[in-house]
Amino acid sequence: MLSPYQKSDDRYSGLQMGSTLFLYILLWILMALSLQVSYLLTLALSIIAAGFLVRIFIFFHDCGHNSFFSSLPANKIAGFFLGVLVFTPSLQWWHCHAIHHASSGNLDKRGIGDVDTMTVSEFRNSTPIKRAWYRFFRHPFTLLVLGPFFSFIVLQRLPLPPFGKKENLNVLWTNLAIVVLAAGISLVIGFKAYLMIQLPVMLIAGAAGIWLFYVQHQFVGVYWARKKDWDYISSALLGASYYKLPRVLQYISGSIGFHQIHHLSPRIPNYRLAAAYHDNPVIQEWSHAVGLWESLHCARLKLWDEDKQQLVGFNNLQA
């Protein structure tokens, strides 16, 4: 059903990437000039720039699935340099993300590439310190304010033991490329100006990206199952939402809101996801749509209740 949409269009991908990078660079120039006028203007422009950085991350993400370009080397090379712009080492993140796709919704394979989610039973049987830490971690302030800083400034800079030599070497090369790019920009506009622009853009984009990922797997009616009952198709179609966004946000997010389609077939490039959804009534029938306003209520979901087979908030815990 979805195989016709899996073909990459190199010309369209190149146009997508080129136009987005051009606008992102233009916004950087405008933000640098705006520092001479008002930092409030710079921050206003940074919100727009952050949107384009989210879009760049989607291209980086597609390269990891080898869906952006038809050539494997083209995806790897483009993905590395896009990863520098989004402060994310390509090979390590792609490895982690592949595990996410292979285990999403599997209660017995949590912990890599997902939002840490405890069951009600696990939470009740945890120590007071662990429960307090989990409450802190799942608080929106932690996820959306502290999370982007920790993830993109700290965690993504570290070679981690679970990954191989190739992935960890890629982290070091990415870090070096980031330093070179930052130094080059700083020579032109100054290091302080670089930080005044880069930090808000990256943190806003990071918060938006984390929220997108959260809503796409933490919603009322989501699918979770133990390993013995887990099924890939069910986890893709029922464990990933269709995030119905306004047209401009769908553009900025590279149509990743059609997340059930993406999990069903990661080889579909971002520019074919919408068509894959609208052309297939069967997928439409089984998709769980989450609207923009409705998605705000997803923030209250914290734990998986295995008895009720649904996500619940802390206030739903029985005494």
Instruction: Look at residue 318 in the predicted model and tell me its pLDDT.
Output: 60
Is residue 288 within 8 A of residue 28, CB to CB? The reply is no
Distance CA 28, CA 10 (A): 27
pLDDT band for 239, please (50, 70, 90 cuts): very high
From CA 259, how far away is CA 61, in angstroms rounded? 13
pLDDT averaged over every residue in the chain: 94
pLDDT the model gives residue 114: 84
Average the pLDDT over 232-236 and give the result: 92
Q: Contact 252/52 with Cβ under 8 angstroms?
A: yes
Q: What is the pLDDT of residue 179?
A: 97
pLDDT tens by residue, 97-128: 999 999 999 999 987 888 899 999 999 999 99
Compute the distance between CA of residue 169 and CA of residue 180 in angstroms, rounded to an integer: 17
| 86 contacts 63 by C-beta, under 8 angstroms | no
- C-alpha angle 284/289/294, rounded to 5°? 165
CA angle 102, 105, 109 (to 5 degrees): 65
* Beta pairing class for 289-291 and 242-244: parallel
pLDDT reported for residue 315: 87
Work out the burial of residue 89: count CB atoms within 10 Å of its CB; fewer than 13 is exposed, 13-18 middle, 19 or more buried.
Answer: buried
Model confidence band, residue 319 (pLDDT cutoffs 50, 70, 90): very low
- Percent of the residues in the chain that have a pLDDT greater than 70, as a whole number: 99
CA distance 35 to 305: 50
The radius of gyration of the chain's CA atoms, rounded to the nearest angstrom, is 20
| Cα separation, 67 vs 16, whole angstroms | 13
CB 17 within 8 A of CB 81: no
pLDDT score of 212: 95
Residues pairing with 118 in the sheet: 303
Q: What is the pLDDT of residues 122-175, one digit of tens each?
A: 999 999 999 999 999 999 999 999 999 999 999 999 888 778 889 999 999 999
pLDDT one-digit tens code per residue, 258-291: 999 999 999 999 999 999 999 999 999 999 999 9
What pLDDT is recorded for position 81? Answer: 97
With b meaning 16 or more CB within 10 Å and e meaning fewer, what string describes 204-237?
bbbbbbbbbbbbbbbbeebbbbeeeebebeebbb
End-to-end CA distance of the chain: 48
Do residues 104 and 239 touch, judged by C-beta distance below 8 A?
Answer: yes
Residue 26 C-beta-side C-alpha neighbours within 13 Å? 8
- The 10s digit of each residue's pLDDT in 164-205 is 889 999 999 999 999 999 999 999 999 999 999 999 999 999
pLDDT above 80: residue 34: yes
